[in-house]
Amino acid sequence: MSDTVLQVEELHAGYGHVEVLRGVSLRVDRGELVTVIGANGAGKSTLLKSIVGMVSPWEGRVVFGDRDISNISPEKAVRSGVALVPEGRLLFGAMSVEENLELGAYASRRGEGAAAMSRVCELFPVLSERRTQSAATLSGGEQQMLAVGRALMSNPRLLLLDEPSLGLAPRVISEIFAALDVLRASGMTILLVEQDARLALKHADRGYVMRTGRVALEGSSTALLANDDVRLIYLGGWNGPNDARADTELGG
Amino acid sequence: MISSTGLFQGRHGKTVDTPELLQFALAGLKNGSIYALVALGFTIVYASTGVLNFAQGEFVMLGGMLSVWAYSTLGLPLPLAGLLGVLLTGLVGVIFELLAIRPRKDGDPLALIIITVGGSMLLSSLARHLFGPTEKALPRFSEGSVNIFGASLERQSLWIFGIAAVAVVLLTFMYSYTRLGKAMRACAIDRNAARLVGIEPRMMVTLSFGLAAILGGLAGLATTPLTQTAFNVGPSFGVKGFAAAILGGLGNPFAAVLGGLTLGLLESMSVAFISSTYKDAISLIILLLVLFVRPQGLFGGSSRQKV
Ligand SMILES: Nc1ncnc2c1ncn2[C@@H]1O[C@H](COP(=O)(O)OP(=O)(O)OP(=O)(O)O)[C@@H](O)[C@H]1O
Ligand SMILES: [Mg+2]
């Protein structure tokens, strides 16, 4: 179980002249659910976007399996087996649920779509009920399920998720995370970005804590949940960005 | 407008009886079908790029010129010559995109629009160079005319209706049911999301130019037997198609078709009731009116998302 699926080495990236990732390294092994947590603007989304090539890395490497994908394009990334559930879901709102799922299989070989479709509908039965409805008319939770389902339609070997809990009610969040548990149990390798650290660490094997473009801490979920700094800053007890303790006690 | 004698009274004293009115309406719908095809080309390219392609009228010119060339110079039978003319026009659309649009990587709409204007001039001077400055004609697909409630309609007009209808049905089918069509729609809705599922936006843009050129080419092929064609007919078709697309609202294909038919009807009614002097001004007037009063058009949302 120790072969590495994703290896990110000293990754630097940003927008225009602003450097957002300042040397991020992390690893995801086969069958693991690894989470990246961190405050607003830490660079978590930028990290996922650089992995799939939505943002071009400035320096460093992204290795997927034994292949260097540092300069890959998003459309090639999904073909090679990395699927991203983006922040904000980016569904095709005017199109039906079914069409969204079909498009999820756009990159895979013909004939593989049907099997993937039935797996997705098994994971999220509500999607088959809503098959003909347009994606825009779904509830927030259903939209998130559709976003995850669309990514799964490409039969990825690595699933990247960007804040799937964003803006959802607690009951819906637990449904989504239950589905992630099911996926993980079925052997899927998952890299999950979350702001809700407690939730993410509860479901993940390991975690990385990002702070202003760097990995500040890493460890097993249990270790991170027990870590004083993590407890202080990410699990409550922190009084906002001006809290002096945040800077002094978690040096990065 | 209907007077007691069953005549329609035009503004300037022109009177028009019912068969004559029908005659004008049919002529309007015939022109409108052509405008609809051109407007569809505008809509398709706009959906994939956010850019108005002012070379669209040149595709109409090329459809006619290349068909004439295949018919007269190559000596192909008319159906084959038409097919070749339209397909070659599609190819020109693809090459145009690859050479003129794609290299502009930032996709800046203003720059691209200027490029299409330049491309339009280039295509027409190229056509003049290759095919000469004279007017070209094609034989009608069918000779003669049919009588519809007292109005006479040339069979070639029936061909125009038929070609436009088949093109619209095929296009609708493609967008609704085929993998490629769905990918093109997805790309128009959200380019980044499309990339995430593996769709190559640049490929979709190229294909949309090819498709728009084929539609323009069909319009050129269908209308040349009635109106003849020449290297310099492109811009006027471009203006009509543009006005039709704006009138419908750039949002979706149906709007483009309705915009085209409406424009054709308005034009020919203005000929019937006012004067043929203003026929060509109508599309400009409509263009300005719509842009000032109802920029989202009559039949569509203004968003690109709907295509
Ligand atoms: N498209 C962009 N152009 C310019 N700057 C950006 C862009 N996207 C993000 N940034 C900036 O990069 C920094 C990191 O953003 P990023 O979205 O990666 O953070 P994040 O950790 O995902 O935050 P959040 O939890 O709010 O999603 C922020 O300062 C943000 O303002
Ligand atoms: Mg983010």
Distance, CA B24 to ligand 1 centroid (Å)? 60
* Beta carbons of B145 and B27 less than 8 angstroms apart: no
Chain A partners of B186 at a C-beta cutoff of 8 Å? 92, 95, 103
Q: What per-residue confidence (pLDDT) applies to B283?
A: 85
Q: For B106-140, how does the pLDDT look when each residue is reduced to its tens digit (9 = 90+)?
A: 888 899 999 999 999 999 999 999 999 999 999 99
Q: For A4-44, how does the pLDDT look when each residue is reduced to its tens digit (9 = 90+)?
A: 999 999 999 999 999 999 999 999 999 999 999 999 999 99
Q: What per-residue confidence (pLDDT) applies to A49?
A: 98
Q: What per-residue confidence (pLDDT) applies to B6?
A: 45
| SS3 of residue B5 by DSSP | coil
Q: What per-residue confidence (pLDDT) applies to A247?
A: 43
For residue B3, name the pLDDT band (cuts at 50, 70, 90). Answer: very low
Within a 13 Å sphere around the CA of B65, how many CA atoms are in the beta-carbon half? 26
* Beta carbons of B175 and B307 less than 8 angstroms apart: yes
Q: Which residue has the higher pLDDT, B158 or A230?
A: B158
Same-domain check for residues A176 and A200: yes
- What torsion do the CA atoms of A151, A153, A158, A159 make, to the nearest 10 degrees? 30
Instruction: Check whether A2 has a pLDDT greater than 90.
Output: no
Task: Using an 8 Å CB-CB cutoff, list residues of chain A that contact chain B.
Answer: 52, 54, 73-75, 78-79, 83-84, 86, 90-95, 99, 102-104, 106-107, 150-151, 153-154
Same-domain check for residues A29 and A76: yes
Q: What per-residue confidence (pLDDT) applies to B300?
A: 67
CB pair distance less than 8 Å for A94 and B193: no
> Which residue in A73, A94, A154 is closest to B197 by CB distance?
A154
- Three-point CA angle B24, B30, B32, nearest 5°: 100
Q: Which residue of A has its CA nearest to B306?
A: A94
Q: What per-residue confidence (pLDDT) applies to B2?
A: 40
Q: For B228-240, how does the pLDDT look when each residue is reduced to its tens digit (9 = 90+)?
A: 999 999 999 999 9
Same-domain check for residues A215 and A183: yes
Which residues neighbour A17 within 8 Å (Cβ) at sequence distance 6 or greater? none
B240 in contact with A, Cβ within 8 Å: no
Which two three-digit tokens encode residue B171?
């296009």
- Range B202-223 average pLDDT: 97
Q: Which residue type occupies B231?
A: F
Listing DSSP states for B66-112 in one string gives HHHIIIIIS---HHHHHHHHHHHHHHHHHHHIIIIITT-TT--HHHH
Cβ atoms within 10 A of the Cβ of B65, count?
Answer: 29
B279 in contact with A, Cβ within 8 Å: no
Same-domain check for residues A179 and A220: yes
> Which residue in A74, A91, A102 is closest to B182 by CB distance?
A102
Q: What per-residue confidence (pLDDT) applies to B10?
A: 54
Q: Which residue of B has its CA nearest to A100?
A: B186
Same-domain check for residues A225 and A200: yes
- Range A117-132 average pLDDT: 96
- The finding on whether A106 has its CB within 6 A of some atom of ligand 1 is no
| Distance separating alpha carbons of residues A230 and A225, to the nearest angstrom | 7
Q: For B76-95, how does the pLDDT look when each residue is reduced to its tens digit (9 = 90+)?
A: 999 999 999 999 999 999 99
- The finding on whether A96 has its CB within 6 A of some atom of ligand 1 is no
- Range A195-215 average pLDDT: 95
Same-domain check for residues A200 and A137: no
Which residues neighbour B43 within 8 Å (Cβ) at sequence distance 6 or greater? B245, B248, B250, B251, B252, B253, B255, B256, B307
Chain B partners of A95 at a C-beta cutoff of 8 Å? 182, 185-186, 189
- Residue B6 falls inside a structural domain: no
Instruction: Check whether B206 has a pLDDT greater than 70.
Output: yes
Distance, CA B207 to ligand 1 centroid (Å)? 33
Q: Which residue type occupies B180?
A: L
Domain boundary among A155, A175, A197: A155
| Distance separating alpha carbons of residues A50 and A93, to the nearest angstrom | 25
Rounded to two decimals, the ipTM of the complex is 0.90
Q: Which residue type occupies A35?
A: T
Q: What per-residue confidence (pLDDT) applies to B199?
A: 97
- Percent of chain B at pLDDT > 90 equals 74
Chain B partners of A93 at a C-beta cutoff of 8 Å? 189, 305
B221 lies in which domain range? 15-133+140-293
Same-domain check for residues A58 and A20: yes
Instruction: Check whether B31 has a pLDDT greater than 50.
Output: yes
B197 in contact with A, Cβ within 8 Å: yes
For chain B, give the mean pLDDT: 90
Chain A partners of B193 at a C-beta cutoff of 8 Å? 86, 90-92
Same-domain check for residues A121 and A47: no
Distance, CA A35 to ligand 2 centroid (Å)? 13
Distance, CA A38 to ligand 2 centroid (Å)? 9
Q: Which residue of B has its CA nearest to A48?
A: B196
Q: Which residue has the higher pLDDT, A46 or B250?
A: A46
- How many domains is chain B built from? 1
For chain A, give the mean pLDDT: 92
CB pair distance less than 8 Å for B186 and A79: no
Q: For B43-57, how does the pLDDT look when each residue is reduced to its tens digit (9 = 90+)?
A: 999 998 889 999 999
Q: Which residue of B has its CA nearest to A160?
A: B196
Instruction: Check whether B306 has a pLDDT greater than 70.
Output: no
| SS3 of residue B130 by DSSP | helix
Alpha helices in chain B (DSSP H): 18-49, 56-68, 78-96, 109-131, 155-177, 179-189, 191-196, 201-227, 234-248, 253-273, 279-293
CATH code of the domain containing B177: 1.10.3470
Instruction: Check whether A242 has a pLDDT greater than 90.
Output: no
B200 in contact with A, Cβ within 8 Å: yes
Q: What per-residue confidence (pLDDT) applies to B286?
A: 87
Q: What per-residue confidence (pLDDT) applies to A225?
A: 93
Listing DSSP states for B248-286 in one string gives H-TT-HHHHHHHHHHHHHHHHHHHHHT-GGGHHHHHHHH
- Residue B98 falls inside a structural domain: yes
- How many domains is chain A built from? 2
Distance, CA B240 to ligand 1 centroid (Å)? 45
- Range A167-182 average pLDDT: 96
Domain boundary among A135, A155, A175: A155
A130 lies in which domain range? 89-155
Same-domain check for residues A77 and A165: yes
- Residue B212 falls inside a structural domain: yes
* Beta carbons of A43 and A212 less than 8 angstroms apart: yes
Same-domain check for residues A199 and A104: no
Residue nearest to atom 9 of ligand 1 (CA): A46
| Distance separating alpha carbons of residues B257 and B255, to the nearest angstrom | 5
Q: Which residue has the higher pLDDT, B15 or A68?
A: A68
* Beta carbons of B147 and B251 less than 8 angstroms apart: no
Same-domain check for residues A129 and A166: no
Instruction: Check whether A120 has a pLDDT greater than 70.
Output: yes
Rounded to a whole number, what is the distance in Å from the CA of A158 to chain B's nearest CA?
14
- Range B214-232 average pLDDT: 97
Q: Which residue has the higher pLDDT, B287 or B181?
A: B181
Same-domain check for residues A227 and A166: yes
| Distance separating alpha carbons of residues B82 and B70, to the nearest angstrom | 8
- The candidate with the shortest Cα–Cα distance to B192, out of A109, A165, A90, is A90
Helix axes B56-68, B234-248, angle to 10 degrees: 130
Domain boundary among A155, A171, A186: A155
